[in-house]
Chains A and B, each alone.
Chain A
């Protein structure tokens, strides 16, 4: 059996346990009332949170790639990284849909420690900075999920995705600063919450 198929089944099995409302609204578990959030999260809830960030990343990469802000090198890198993000988001056939429009995406971004907004991003520097911040959020979402996931196989898969997000963070930072030391700043990657 193909490895990708196995992964899809693994994620699908975990997400199949999620309530339908949770899958229809990617932000459901993040926006839940405090009392509800105090309950232990299921593997499906945890994955839904992480996948919502993946979908936001896909939207942001596509949006910034369509702008005229990126030069040749930056455009080539962002195109490659978008392909990786699409594969992350497609790892499950039951992924909730991403932001419907720019305003929704920017509202989603505002809930995370991301300084920029898609609507106001004009320069290449600002585009890459926004993507770096978003990669940190994706790392943090995976890290938080792994901490709570009960399915060992899904925890491993989340670690594989998290490692890819870390690589993307590094490549974007290298593009931005041309500094190999800065691009791998610390020995432990936990992202941002």
Chain B
């Protein structure tokens, strides 16, 4: 079980603040070029979308906790990458929270602790992060067909593509062959 340490508390507080700020941005830019705006959907599909997005938000919170715990264990270049990816997951969480608010629902909050494995080395930590990223990709891809069609699906795909970039870099740092498959499913 990973629990926030004093040194991480500042990072996590900054994370929470970042999510709140970014949630405002997501809400402001939530208009759709294609498809219906989340806020104007009928109640049932709006609630359905919000539930799916909240499930994704839960996973983003878990990844944020994992990166926050993992960064101090890592060396260059993995550390640099992990810091960059942590910021990007915060942006994902902020965007998701903004969408959920537009759907007139309440974004889920992070848990106090997450049941992560106990990586002892930088390599184990990177492998744990890679596994979590891959699981995240699988979950997002399963969510896309369930979401209302239009910009929401496309913008969710834009998050998945970023997660896929994360896995490619982590594979490189781990000494694995990066981007082994033509279709990214998270299960490769």
Q: Which A residues lie at the B interface, using CB under 8 A?
A: 7, 80-81, 83-85, 87-88, 91, 139, 142-144, 146-150, 152-153, 155-171, 174, 180-181, 183-184, 186-190
Contacts and interface: CB of A to CB of B under 8 A. Distances in A.
A146 B157 contact: yes
A142 B158 CA distance: 10
29 contacts: A80-B179, A81-B179, A83-B182, A84-B181, A139-B161, A143-B154, A143-B158, A146-B154, A146-B157, A147-B34, A148-B150, A155-B145, A155-B149, A159-B156, A160-B141, A161-B183, A162-B160, A162-B161, A166-B162, A171-B172, A174-B169, A180-B80, A180-B84, A184-B84, A184-B85, A184-B162, A184-B165, A188-B91, A188-B155
A170 B165 contact: yes
Contacts of B179: 80-81, 84, 164, 167-168, 171
B52 interface: no
Interface residues of B, number: 49
Interface of B: 33-35, 77, 80-81, 84-85, 87-89, 91-92, 95, 137, 140-141, 144-146, 149-151, 153-169, 172-173, 178-179, 181-185
Contact of A87 (B80, B95, B141, B182): B182
A167 B162 contact: no
Contacts of A85: 182
B84 A163 contact: no
B162 A187 contact: yes
A162 B154 CA distance: 10
Given A150-B149, A157-B183, A180-B77, A167 B155 contact: no
B95 to A, nearest CB: 7
Contact of B165 (A143, A160, A183): A183
Nearest to A165: B161
Given A152-B149, A159-B144, A167-B168, 15 more contacts: A146-B144, A146-B157, A155-B157, A156-B145, A159-B156, A161-B182, A162-B157, A163-B163, A164-B182, A166-B164, A169-B165, A171-B179, A187-B88, A187-B162, A189-B165
Contacts of B140: 159
Contacts of A81: 179
